[in-house]
């Protein structure tokens, strides 16, 4: 099959070019196809859209190996190695992150490359004849979902960020867009994009060969999460309105499920590679191909500790993906999610907890560890717990507990009314809010939610106190005492800040 190539340049790379000479900008890569030459048919739009999907796979965006930017920033996981790669990965969970960190810069660049791919689709789709208007509407909705998803990650990590919604073609256009937009405006764009997804002709659920593409359920679920985040992190004046919007969209997403109650789906089945084609709980995922050298999953093998065989047939050589003892202690007695998600490695070189949640010991994955695990970005247990959170904030505690109990029941744990009578449980989670946060932590562990949950449940001062109150011995080598108000946001990468220090201003504390 003939392969067509689009040369995609991230907005940040374009920002860097704004200081270059026009002669440089007028040079052309003979191996690249300009967008004006590329977009001729609706299949060209599909190919470009597939490129936007492909960008999500990267460990520098939100792929399965992107834990450095989320989980390792939280209290769930991290690393004790402060020497490898000049100690830069260690900076994330040590709360000593520098604007010059090259991993941070790669993350920023890759995220904007994803956005640029979406903008290329959206800026050219109206010039292409489509045989079916619904196909065009679906492609546009998919591109807007991906763009909204990436901006949602960016705005939670950095606050104010450059907001670009069209394809940039000239140096002047690049210069005009080289500034940080207020996060409230970025959220408005995210909401606008996702509302179009929610009202689009996309199917409620993708099946067969289309699994891994955006659905209407995914649009509603993500929009509900966005409104919930806005309600808890932005201007309090709009809090109730945002909460009601969150409730409406999350309820709509939940109503699109194809199963009855959550307990019908065993927890282990959600992550079973042999059952992923029929998994009714997953709403949106990055699809991987078992045994494929290019499109397989490596998470099972990468996270397996030396001397262990529970994750993969590929022998582990290191400590795997390290779990904080703080998280291990969070699991209640009898919680089946603990035995499925984490394990203690007895090898003398390890002697620590590692992640077992993602497994593929099939012959097809083999000793190379080419697993078939799909990377789950949205699933119904998350939606259910967000509904519990929304109802709790609205003062509708009975309904909130009803949703909370759905998740606890599947985990074979006592319902909340019983659990709260236990002295240990009540001392650790004295409020319904903390009980929901606890449930999210153990249900969604290592699925890249924890850092964002902490940002949503606590304001900056509360978050500083939360981290400072933890036991350093349960956290590892990274120093909890380093956590201050500045760590609410990441620093703007040094190279981006120096382009225009006034309009690409640095976050406080850096």
Q: For 266-300, how does the pLDDT look when each residue is reduced to its tens digit (9 = 90+)?
A: 999 999 999 998 999 999 999 999 999 999 999 99
Residue 79: strand, helix, or coil: coil
Q: What are 246-270's pLDDT values in tens digits?
A: 999 999 999 999 999 999 999 999 9
**Distance (Å, whole) CA 125 – CA 140:** 8
Chain-wide mean pLDDT for the chain? 93
Q: Which of 488, 434, 489, 433 is nearest to 180 (CA)?
A: 489
pLDDT at 225 over 80: yes
Mean pLDDT of 102-125: 98
- Same domain? For 500 and 401 the reply is no
- Same domain? For 226 and 83 the reply is no
Kindly state whether residue 232 falls inside one of the protein's structural domains.
yes
- Same domain? For 219 and 114 the reply is no
Least confident segment among 36-45, 84-93, 373-382: 36-45
- Same domain? For 118 and 167 the reply is yes
Identify the DSSP state of 411: T
Mean pLDDT of 143-157: 98
Contact predicate 323/75, CB 8 Å: no
Residue whose token pair is 């590329």: 38
Q: What is the dihedral of CA 160, 161, 163, 167, to 10 degrees?
A: 180
Query: Which residue(s) pair with 394 in the sheet?
Result: none
Kindly give the pairing relationship between strand 375-379 and strand 352-355.
Answer: unpaired
- Same domain? For 172 and 222 the reply is no
Q: Long-range pairs for 276-280 at CB < 8 Å and ≥24 separation?
A: 276/372, 276/373, 276/374, 277/211
Query: Which residue(s) pair with 354 in the sheet?
Result: 322, 343
**302 or 4, higher pLDDT:** 302
Contact predicate 246/386, CB 8 Å: yes
Q: What is the predicted pLDDT for the residue at 29?
A: 47
- Same domain? For 177 and 222 the reply is no
- The DSSP secondary structure of 13-75, one letter per residue, reads HHHHHTTS-HHHHT---TT-B-HHHH--SHHHHHHHHHHHHHHTTSTTTTSTT-GGGTGGGTT
Least confident segment among 27-31, 281-285, 501-505: 27-31
Q: What is the predicted pLDDT for the residue at 36?
A: 66
**Distance (Å, whole) CA 338 – CA 487:** 29
Contacts of 447 (CB under 8 A, 6+ apart): 376, 382
> Where does a domain end: 448, 465, 495?
448
Identify the DSSP state of 9: -
Q: Which of 45, 62, 232, 55 is nearest to 141 (CA)?
A: 45
Q: Over the Cα atoms of the chain, what is R_g? A: 23
What Å distances lie between residue 219 and 73, 119, 374, CA to CA?
Answer: 27, 18, 19
Kindly state whether residue 366 falls inside one of the protein's structural domains.
no
**Distance (Å, whole) CA 389 – CA 369:** 38
- Same domain? For 93 and 134 the reply is yes
Q: What are 193-215's pLDDT values in tens digits?
A: 999 999 999 999 999 999 999 99
Q: Can you say how many angstroms the Cα of residue 20 is from the centroid of all Cα atoms in its chain? A: 34
What b/e readout covers 271-295, taking b as 16+ CB neighbours within 10 angstroms? bbbeebeebbbbbbbbbbebbeeee
Mean pLDDT of 45-60: 98
- Same domain? For 397 and 504 the reply is no
Structural domain count of the chain:
2
Q: What is the predicted pLDDT for the residue at 37?
A: 80
**Distance (Å, whole) CA 425 – CA 446:** 23
Percent of the chain with pLDDT over 70: 93
Q: Which domain holds residue 218?
A: 203-275+377-448
**Distance (Å, whole) CA 235 – CA 153:** 19
Kindly state whether residue 424 falls inside one of the protein's structural domains.
yes
Kindly state whether residue 104 falls inside one of the protein's structural domains.
yes
Contacts of 126 (CB under 8 A, 6+ apart): none
Query: Which residue(s) pair with 160 in the sheet?
Result: none
Contact predicate 202/221, CB 8 Å: no
Kindly state whether residue 250 falls inside one of the protein's structural domains.
yes
Q: Which tokens sit at 176?
A: 């005009």
Mean pLDDT of 73-99: 95
**Distance (Å, whole) CA 227 – CA 242:** 5
pLDDT at 25 over 50: no
**Distance (Å, whole) CA 322 – CA 344:** 10
Helix axes 216-233, 133-158, angle to 10 degrees: 30
**Distance (Å, whole) CA 187 – CA 201:** 23
What b/e readout covers 166-205, taking b as 16+ CB neighbours within 10 angstroms? ebbeebeebbebbbbbebeebbebbbebbbbbbebebebb
pLDDT at 156 over 70: yes
SS (H, E, C) 239-285: HHHHHHHHHHHHHHHHHCCCCCCHHHCCHHHHCCHHHHHHCCCEEEE
- Same domain? For 176 and 223 the reply is no
Residue 503: strand, helix, or coil: coil
pTM of full prediction above 0.75: yes
- Same domain? For 219 and 178 the reply is no
Kindly state whether residue 217 falls inside one of the protein's structural domains.
yes
> Where does a domain end: 399, 432, 448?
448
**Distance (Å, whole) CA 202 – CA 216:** 6
Query: Which residue(s) pair with 347 in the sheet?
Result: none
Contact predicate 115/190, CB 8 Å: no
- Same domain? For 267 and 414 the reply is yes
Kindly state whether residue 402 falls inside one of the protein's structural domains.
yes
Q: 316: how many CB neighbours lie within 10 A of its CB?
A: 23
Kindly state whether residue 458 falls inside one of the protein's structural domains.
no
Which CATH number does the domain housing residue 267 bear? Answer: 1.25.40.390
Contact predicate 285/297, CB 8 Å: no
- Same domain? For 240 and 120 the reply is no
């Amino acid at each position: 099959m003939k392969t067509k190539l689009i040369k995609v340049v991230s907005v940040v790379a374009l920002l860097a070019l704004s200081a270059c000479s026009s002669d440089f900008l007028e040079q052309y890569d003979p191996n690249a196809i300009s967008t004006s030459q590329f977009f001729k048919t609706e299949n060209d739009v599909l190919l470009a859209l597939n490129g936007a999907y492909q960008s999500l796979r990267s460990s520098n965006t939100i792929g399965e190996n992107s834990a450095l930017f989320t989980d390792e920033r939280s209290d769930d996981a991290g690393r004790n190695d402060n020497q490898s790669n000049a100690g830069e990965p260690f900076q994330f969970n040590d709360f000593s992150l520098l604007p010059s960190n090259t991993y941070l810069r790669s993350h920023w660049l890759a995220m904007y490359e994803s956005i640029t791919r979406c903008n290329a689709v959206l800026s050219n789709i109206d010039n292409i004849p489509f045989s079916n208007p619904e196909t065009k509407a679906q492609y546009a909705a998919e591109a807007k979902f991906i763009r909204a998803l990436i901006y949602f990650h960016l705005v939670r990590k950095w606050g104010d960020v450059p907001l670009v919604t069209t394809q940039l073609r000239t140096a002047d256009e690049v210069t005009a867009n080289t500034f940080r937009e207020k996060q409230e405006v970025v959220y408005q764009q995210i909401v606008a994009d996702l509302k179009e997804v929610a009202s689009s002709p996309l199917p409620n659920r993708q099946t067969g060969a289309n699994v891994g593409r955006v659905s209407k359920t995914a649009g509603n679920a993500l929009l509900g999460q966005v409104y919930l985040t806005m309600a808890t992190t932005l201007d309090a004046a709009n809090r109730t309105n945002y909460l009601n919007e969150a409730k409406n969209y999350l309820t709509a997403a939940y109503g699109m499920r194809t199963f009855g109650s959550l307990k019908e789906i065993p927890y282990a089945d959600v992550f079973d590679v042999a059952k992923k084609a029929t998994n009714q709980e997953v709403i949106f995922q990055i699809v991987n191909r078992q045994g494929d050298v290019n499109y397989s999953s490596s998470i099972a093998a990468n996270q397996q500790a030396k001397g262990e065989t529970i994750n993969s047939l590929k022998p582990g050589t290191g400590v795997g993906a390290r779990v904080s003892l703080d998280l291990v202690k969070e699991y209640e007695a009898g919680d089946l999610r603990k035995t499925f998600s984490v394990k203690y490695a007895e090898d003398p070189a390890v002697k620590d907890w590692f992640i077992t949640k993602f497994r593929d010991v099939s012959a097809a994955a083999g000793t190379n560890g080419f697993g078939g695990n799909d990377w789950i970005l949205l699933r119904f247990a998350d939606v259910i717990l967000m509904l519990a959170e929304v109802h709790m904030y609205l003062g509708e505690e009975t309904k909130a507990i009803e949703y909370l109990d759905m998740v606890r029941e599947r985990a074979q744990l006592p319902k909340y009314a019983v659990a709260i009578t236990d002295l240990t449980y009540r001392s650790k989670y004295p409020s319904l809010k903390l009980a929901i946060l606890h449930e999210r932590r153990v249900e969604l562990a290592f699925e890249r939610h924890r850092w964002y949950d902490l940002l949503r449940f606590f304001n900056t001062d509360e978050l500083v106190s939360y981290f400072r109150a933890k036991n350093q011995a349960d956290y590892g080598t990274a120093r909890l005492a380093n956590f201050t108000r500045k760590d609410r946001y990441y620093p703007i990468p040094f190279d981006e800040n120096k382009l225009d220090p006034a309009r690409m201003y640095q976050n406080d504390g850096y």
